[in-house]
Chains A and B, each alone.
Chain A
């Protein structure tokens, strides 16, 4: 029996939430999408998500701060960082701080699906990822 995976999706570009939200929904995720990091942090304070997917470069609050916040609030939550400005040092810093994974933009449709599946397995949640596709961006 398949369970649902609660996912918070944060990217200041609205298109990301609009495209990835429904796609993740199709593969067994309950997605809450945010463009404003402050609002996302407020929501994280209210609810322990299974997975948080966040962009790194955003206005006032960046993805690394979101990572720190989630790690303090809910160590169980798996945080996946996405960035268009990937660099070795940033990637190492993210892992050091406890990120579950780090993906560079543009990513293939399958990349995020696989990472989410990996996070679900790590959490012991059985989600049916078969026969589902996510549009690439």
Chain B
């Protein structure tokens, strides 16, 4: 009974290990197949969601806002699934937002760099040297992407409970190690950690609902209490707070809403 989050520098390896781990534990496996569900829920095309998970973060403008929104939608639906427990998750960036949850085992899988370079070289018909440069560029992009959207560097090993390199250890052995670790009592869910997950899901769902109208909101949830923070001008503070309250208070799982509108000098209220 726990959640396993797999992050990898190789989509194929991450996916393979996630599926086989889920099979071994009889857990459900969450991956990119969830994107059509997100698309349906929020009325955003699936390819836009895929773009948000992979594209270099635009620094400003509508694209930046759209990427942020797409990621919030993916995060909400993913968390909605993860609260059900007994899930293995990969390819949905969950390692960057399921943080501080004691029953979530976070694993990083590193593909063999030599094998990866050979594969890229074969697939793209490019020389090995170029394949290595492409890998390096991709690694830097992932670092920038994760830091921009989640303020975490996904290539930093200290973010994970376990890092396994596939240079010497094969996928079956890696799966065995993950299954064994997930069985340790320290990763068992408890009232506290389950509540943390529920709080994270609620906060995220509320934020996703507000983002289109209020792009700068920050949301926290504790039990059924939701705390929303945003910026506004002195003139429209009250109006804005009331509008947010109105929208949030009827959402499922919300018992009480607290809205804090701080003075934002250069931000016009939407």
Known: A98-B185, A108-B223. A92 touches B102 (CB 8 A): yes
Question: Is A102 engaged at the interface, CB distance under 8 Å to the other chain?
Answer: yes
Q: How far is the CA of A94 from the CA of B191 in the complex (A)?
A: 13
Indicate if the CB atoms of A104 and B192 lie closer than 8 Å. Answer: yes
Find residues 173-189 in chain B having any chain A CB closer than 8 Å to their own CB: 184-188
| List of A residues within 8 angstroms of B102 by Cβ | 88, 91-92, 95
| List of B residues within 8 angstroms of A3 by Cβ | none
Indicate if the CB atoms of B188 and A88 lie closer than 8 Å. Answer: no
Question: Is B101 engaged at the interface, CB distance under 8 Å to the other chain?
Answer: yes
Question: Is A86 engaged at the interface, CB distance under 8 Å to the other chain?
Answer: yes
Find residues 77-118 in chain B having any chain A CB closer than 8 Å to their own CB: 100-102
| List of B residues within 8 angstroms of A108 by Cβ | 223
Question: Is A115 engaged at the interface, CB distance under 8 Å to the other chain?
Answer: yes
What's the interface size class on A, roughly?
20 to 34
Q: Interface readout for B185-227 with A: 1 if CB under 8 Å, 0 if not?
A: 1111011110100000000000000000000000000010000
User: Which of B184, B188, B191 is the one whose CB lies under 8 Å from A115?
Assistant: B191
| Min C-beta distance of B102 to chain A, whole Å | 4
Question: Is A35 engaged at the interface, CB distance under 8 Å to the other chain?
Answer: no
User: Which of A88, A94, A104 is the one whose CB lies under 8 Å from B195?
Assistant: A104
User: Which of B184, B187, B190, B223 is the one whose CB lies under 8 Å from A101?
Assistant: B190
Indicate if the CB atoms of B187 and A91 lie closer than 8 Å. Answer: no
Indicate if the CB atoms of A91 and B185 lie closer than 8 Å. Answer: no
Indicate if the CB atoms of A96 and B192 lie closer than 8 Å. Answer: no
Known: A88-B100, A92-B102, A108-B223. A103 touches B185 (CB 8 A): no
- Interface residue tally for chain B (C-beta within 8 Å): 14
Indicate if the CB atoms of B192 and A102 lie closer than 8 Å. Answer: yes
Known: A88-B100, A91-B102, A95-B102. A101 touches B191 (CB 8 A): yes
Question: Is A13 engaged at the interface, CB distance under 8 Å to the other chain?
Answer: no
| List of A residues within 8 angstroms of B191 by Cβ | 101-103, 107, 111, 114-115
Indicate if the CB atoms of B184 and A91 lie closer than 8 Å. Answer: no
Question: Is A93 engaged at the interface, CB distance under 8 Å to the other chain?
Answer: yes
Most A-side CB within 10 Å, residue of B100, B101, B184, B192: B192
Indicate if the CB atoms of B186 and A96 lie closer than 8 Å. Answer: yes
| Min C-beta distance of A33 to chain B, whole Å | 21
Indicate if the CB atoms of B193 and A91 lie closer than 8 Å. Answer: yes
| List of A residues within 8 angstroms of B100 by Cβ | 87-88
| Min C-beta distance of A44 to chain B, whole Å | 22
Indicate if the CB atoms of B186 and A92 lie closer than 8 Å. Answer: yes
Q: How far is the CA of A104 from the CA of B190 in the complex (A)?
A: 10
Q: How far is the CA of A32 from the CA of B188 in the complex (A)?
A: 29
Most B-side CB within 10 Å, residue of A95, A98, A104: A95
| Min C-beta distance of B57 to chain A, whole Å | 28
Indicate if the CB atoms of B101 and A95 lie closer than 8 Å. Answer: no
Indicate if the CB atoms of A95 and B190 lie closer than 8 Å. Answer: yes
| List of A residues within 8 angstroms of B186 by Cβ | 92-93, 95-96
Q: Which residue in chain A gives the minimum CB-CB distance to B185? A: A95
Known: A91-B102, A95-B102, A108-B223. A86 touches B185 (CB 8 A): no
Interface residues of B (CB under 8 A from A): 100-102, 184-188, 190-193, 195, 223
Task: Pull 13 A–B residue pairs with CB atoms less than 8 Å apart, ordered by A.
Answer: A87-B100, A88-B101, A88-B102, A92-B102, A94-B190, A95-B187, A95-B190, A102-B191, A103-B191, A104-B195, A106-B223, A108-B223, A114-B191
Given A92-B187, A95-B187, A114-B191, 19 new contacts (CB under 8 A): A88-B100, A88-B101, A88-B102, A91-B102, A91-B190, A91-B193, A93-B186, A95-B186, A95-B188, A96-B185, A102-B190, A102-B192, A102-B193, A103-B190, A103-B192, A104-B192, A108-B223, A111-B195, A115-B191
The 9 closest A-B pairs by CB, nearest first: A92-B186, A96-B186, A91-B102, A102-B190, A104-B192, A102-B192, A88-B102, A103-B191, A92-B102
